Structure 1
Amino acid sequence: MANKFIEPLLIFIRGLFMGSADIIPGVSGGTIALITGIYERLVHAIGKIKFSFIKSLLKGNFSEFKATLFEEIDFQLFIPLLLGIAVAMLTFSKVIGFFLDVYPSFTFAFFLGLILASSYVLYAQIVKFSPKMLIISIIGFVLSYIFVGLNPIAANHSIPILFFSGMIAICAMILPGISGAFILLLLGQYHYMLNVLNSLSWTEIVTFCLGALIGILGFSKLLDYLLQQHEEITMALLIGVMLGTLRIPFVEVISNLNAFGLEWILCIILVIIGFALIVLLEMKFKYIE
């Protein structure tokens, strides 16, 4: 009986972590899903949605509609997870906005520790790390390092632009190592979407979510295939991608600090705290599973 309440609660907590990570440029919600042991289930659950239940509904066959709906959609996963993500995004957007404006060096130092630890956790997922895997990781690192160094695009905030931004960003949000928030930053939509969340502008929120829904339904099928057929190669590539994204917090920390002093020591401590938090989180959820 207790498990009926514990499992949804643990999934909800995972959603809180994922939603918080997706707000942060340089940190991926997909990484959090991976280290908390829910990633493959999530990708597979999204990938198996084929909307066959709509056909049954249009035919008026409600018994078949209900059976197909529960067969295709993992409600026990999606309801608590999406609720946790939504709660985190609506609340954490104000917090992260404050810290990025007031304490940028400390905030990005903490992010650096999170990403570094996430790379370590991914490395532990690979059973055989061969020279081939190393080359794939290096390719991922180089591509990611170049990509995150690009300048943000000056874009408007029209409804079509927000829709396509949602489609693109969600693919990064579910992929470990690539930050959906950073994609929004490159598209010139990050600060605007933070304000949208803080002011609860529902037209923009719904538009963005519709784009994200379409994007994730298509991309998850490809990702599910890669994880099922080429898991170690995919993981090796993601390790390189995640290490490449360290360029973002490292540059931000360096550019916001003066000569070596107390601030540098605090940043180093925050890197260690961020690293330890992810490792302990991964160990805790692995123990629970």
Structure 2
Amino acid sequence: MSFDIKEAFLIFIRGLFMGSADIVPGVSGGTIALITGIYGHLIEAISNIKFGFLKPLIKGDLKGFWNGLLDEIDFKFFIPLILGIGVAFLTLAKVVTYCMEVHTALTFSFFLGLIIASAVILFRKIEKINIKHVIAAIVGLILTYIFVSLNPIAGDHSLIVLFISGMIAICAMILPGISGSFLLLLLGQYQYMLTALHELHFVELIVFVVGAVIGILGFSKILNYLLKNYEEITMAFLIGVMLGSLKVPAVQIAGSVGAGLSALLPCVVVAVIGFILIIVLETRFDYME
């Protein structure tokens, strides 16, 4: 197995962006995967993992196990991507949470620009709008708006709850427009898992990651099927999801700046910067098939 250093580095950078986005309630790593051109490849690569390589191992066939492992798992893609996500989680978690607490309005304005630009990019992928696309977008918008309007529940931090939370949150993290971090917030696990990450509580982290791995392996197969058979309707639904999720940054901005125009103007500028950044990123990154 040979690595292309340049390609691996670009995948690593995408992982950094995805990990940074997944830390933030209201922003999705799946959105970053989409705009940087790896979303379809990511979902297909995950859904291709069927654990068939375990059969030769049970029979003691190590060569067959290794060949099956290389055939099912795209290591050239996953290794730099997971490294990038991991580095972002370990190094940027404190930075992002600091920005959210100290510069709330500006931070969420930036996220607002990111989400709007991502919806625009998705819209451009639909060749011809029809009534099915409109209905799918409206359904996505309504469901997401209701979802983000829910109040967080009190968190039980037992290992089984963390395992289930990992399964649920990872499904949101790979969906453009749906924030896994926000889902963790609703489940009452966000602050707890952020603390576990800061303080390296390995038992809780491992249980959460195992739940996430099991969740993503199952959910990716559903997503892969939808993208292969109903791509434009799925994209329209995701546009609605993104528009519905705009309530999260909008509420945070409104609560921080109030009605003052002078305070709102910097937020608009930062949102425009976020919008332009995503549009530029989308043109700079090649799409991976």
Q: TM-score by structure 1 length?
A: 0.96
| 1:215-247: CA deviation from partner (whole Å, max 9, x where unpaired) | 000000000000011100100000000100000
Residue equivalent to 2:137? 137
* 1:41-99 alpha-carbon deviations (Å, 9 max, x no partner): 11011101111111111111111111111010000010000000000011111001111
Match of 2:125 in 1: 125
Residues 180, 287 of structure 1: CA spacing in aligned structure 2 closer, same or farther, 3 A cutoff?
Answer: closer
CA distance in 1, matches of 2:173, 2:206: 17
Amino acid at match of 2:187: L
1:260 corresponds to: 260
Partner secondary structure for residue 27 of structure 1 = coil
Contact between 2:37 and 2:288, CA under 8 Å: does it hold in 1? Answer: no
Of 125-134 and 272-281, deviating more is: 125-134
Moved over 4 A (4+): none
Paired-residue identity, %: 57
Separation in structure 2 between the aligned mates of residue 24 and residue 248 of structure 1, nearest angstrom: 11
Measured in 1, the distance between the counterparts of 2:225 and 2:259 equals 49
Equivalent positions of 1:191-206 (< 5 A) are 191-206=191-206
Query: Superposed, which structure 2 residues align to 1:83-98 within 5 Å?
Result: 83-98=83-98
Q: Which moved more, 1:83-92 or 1:196-205?
A: 196-205
> Which residue number corresponds to residue 114 of structure 2?
114
Residue 258 (structure 1) shift: 3.2
SS at match of 1:21: helix
Q: 2:116 is matched by which residue type in structure 1?
A: L
Q: How far did 1:259 drift?
A: 3.7
Mean Cα displacement is larger for which, 89-98 or 236-245? 89-98
Q: Distance in 1 between matches of 2:223 and 2:255?
A: 36
Q: Specify the SS of the correspondent of 2:156.
A: coil
For residues 261 and 135 of structure 1, what CA distance do their matches in structure 2 show? 36
Question: Which deviates more, 232-241 or 259-268?
Answer: 259-268
Quick check: 2:36–2:287 contact (8 Å CA) kept in 1? no
Question: Deviation of residue 136 (structure 1)?
Answer: 1.2
CA distance in 1, matches of 2:253, 2:10: 33
What are the ranges of 5 or more consecutive residues in structure 1 without an aligned counterpart?
A: none
Q: CA contact under 8 A between 2:137 and 2:236: conserved in structure 1? A: yes
CA distance in 2, matches of 1:209, 1:277: 31
> 1:201 deviation in Å?
1.2
In structure 2, what residue type is equivalent to 1:238?
L
| Counterpart residue number, 1:175 | 175
TM (norm. structure 2) is 0.96
Q: Give the Cα separation in 2 of the matches to 1:258 and 1:222.
A: 42
**Structure 2 unaligned spans of 5+:** none
The residue aligned with 2:188 is 188
Take 1:158 and 1:239, find their aligned partners in 2: how far apart are those partners?
35
Look up the match of 2:26: 26
Q: Which amino acid aligns with 1:233?
A: I
Give the secondary-structure state (helix, strand or coil) at the position aligned to 1:256.
helix
Tell me, in whole angstroms, the C-alpha distance in 2 between the residues paired with 1:236 and 1:287.
20
Shift in Å, 1:15? 0.4
Instruction: State the 1:263 CA deviation.
Output: 2.1
1:12 paired with 2:12, answer yes
